[in-house]
Amino acid sequence: MSLEIADQTPLAPLTTLELGGPARHLTTVADEASALEALRWAAARNLPVFVLGGGSNVVVSDAGFPGLVIRVALRGVAFETAGDRVHARVAAGEPWDGVVAEAVRRGLAGLECLSGIPGLAGATPIQNVGAYGQDVAETIISVRAVDRQTLDVVELPATACGFGYRDSAFKHAPDRWLVLGVTFALRADGAPTVRYPELAKALAAHTATPTLASVRDTVIALRRAKSMVIDPADPNRRSVGSFFMNPVVPLAVVEPRVSTFVPLSV
């Protein structure tokens, strides 16, 4: 096997911000063997490595990247019945919204509120991607990845992923893992998730009984209204996505402040 290495490749066209300088070296990997070979190639030359997915959650410096950029292009989605669930085995390079669309088309619940999110499936466990009252940690059962320290390919159960609110073990060790695939457990003929007030209000204006398809369509409409759908026709499309996080504080901090709150007189 021989890697195709391109030199001084502009990174701006590979990101949703459409900004940034070139990669000193860039290669695209379409299978596990190529991913391992790319990591070995960089290690043999003592080069830093940056793993690039859909380019929707990165800001590239004008100086570019001084090492090897590995573009993830592993493809494939397989659905397997497993008891009362359907397991979706998704390669890391699959466009995420396409995965959600196919799950909804098959009547599989668990991902519908995550419609319209840009990027690739392999990125979803890294920050426990979530939106509109749902996150991927609810359905992920395992993550297949290369341990960049040992070059071993491992299948990590969800319990080893350290999932939290927009958080994971991958996020805290950004130079350790290269995600190859993710397996989700979805509910056949399951009801859609309607927890988020804004989504519930929008759905109630059109239907009394939301379906997976209506939830998906409504989420995309809400995102589009905020210029959060990647659309070449939208002049505001250049975005790294939503990076807003709700503050998380202990109850011991919140409760005293609530109990001592005194409304201002007007």
At 104 the pLDDT is: 98
Q: Name the more confident of 266 and 56.
A: 56
With beta carbons less than 8 A apart as the criterion, state whether 194 and 203 touch: yes
- Strands 130-131 and 134-135: what pairing? antiparallel
What CATH number does domain 6-72 carry, 3.40.50.300, 3.30.70.890, 3.30.43.10, 3.40.30.10? Answer: 3.30.43.10
Q: What pLDDT score does 243 carry?
A: 63
Mean pLDDT of the chain: 93
Q: Tell me how far apart the alpha carbons of residues 73 and 84 are, in angstroms, rounded to a whole number.
A: 31
Correct CATH for 77-188 of 3.30.465.10, 3.40.50.620, 3.60.21.70, 3.30.70.260: 3.30.465.10
| Local confidence band at 258 (pLDDT 50, 70, 90 cut-offs) | low
CA distance 85 to 75: 23
Say if residues 148 and 48 touch (Cβ distance below 8 Å). no
Is a pLDDT exceeding 70 seen at residue 260?
no
pLDDT tens readout for residues 8-50:
999 999 999 999 999 999 999 999 999 999 999 999 999 999 9
pLDDT band at 266 (very low <50, low <70, confident <90, very high): very low
Q: State the pLDDT at residue 264.
A: 53
Say if pTM beats, i.e. exceeds, 0.85.
yes
Rounded Cα distance, 197 and 48, in Å: 44
Q: Out of 29-33, 66-70, 151-155, 224-228, which region has the weakest mean confidence (pLDDT)?
A: 224-228
Nearest Cα to 163, choosing from 198, 128, 129, 138?
A: 128
211: confidence class by pLDDT, cuts 50, 70, 90: very high
Is residue 54 scored above 90 in pLDDT?
Answer: yes
Where do the structural domains in the chain lie, given as residue ranges?
A: 6-72, 77-188
Contact (CB, 8 A) for 99 and 77? yes
| Amino acid code (one letter) for 200 | A
pLDDT in tens, 119-130: 999 999 999 999
**Mean pLDDT in residue range 239-259:** 71
Confidence of residue 1 (pLDDT cuts 50, 70, 90): low
The predicted pLDDT at position 253 comes to 77
What is the arithmetic mean of pLDDT over 56-77? Answer: 96
pLDDT in the model for residue 214: 98
User: What is the per-residue pLDDT for 265?
Assistant: 47
Task: Write down the pLDDT at residue 238.
Answer: 80
Distance CA 212, CA 110 (A): 9
- pLDDT at position 262: 52
Q: Average pLDDT, stretch 159-182?
A: 96
Mean pLDDT value of segment 225-236:
84
The Cα 82–Cα 102 span in angstroms is 18
